[in-house]
Amino acid sequence: MSANSKSKNTQTEQEVDVLYQKLGDQWFAFSVVNDEVFMSPVSDDQITEIKTQGSHEPFNEAA
């Protein structure tokens, strides 16, 4: 990139559905954004916080 180049930040905030899935002893969050699938590990503390916030998202605790 040359010194005269400018980059534009085009990030926008979106509301998306999230699936929380427990695989073995670890929780994961899955979501689809612009036809791309994203997965991230989620700590037990974060899951507890999400559950106490009254989220309407279903939790799949099947291991």
The DSSP bridge pattern shows strands 19-23 and 26-33 to be: antiparallel
pLDDT tens, N- to C-terminus, the chain (63 residues) = 445 556 666 778 888 899 999 999 999 999 999 999 999 999 999 999 888 886 555 555 655
Amino acid letter, residue 17: D
- Please report, for the chain, the start and end positions of each structural domain, with discontinuous segments joined by +: 19-60
Query: Cα(63)–Cα(24) distance, rounded to whole angstroms?
Result: 5
Candidates 57, 54, 24, 58; CA nearest to 41 is 24
Q: Specify the pTM.
A: 0.63
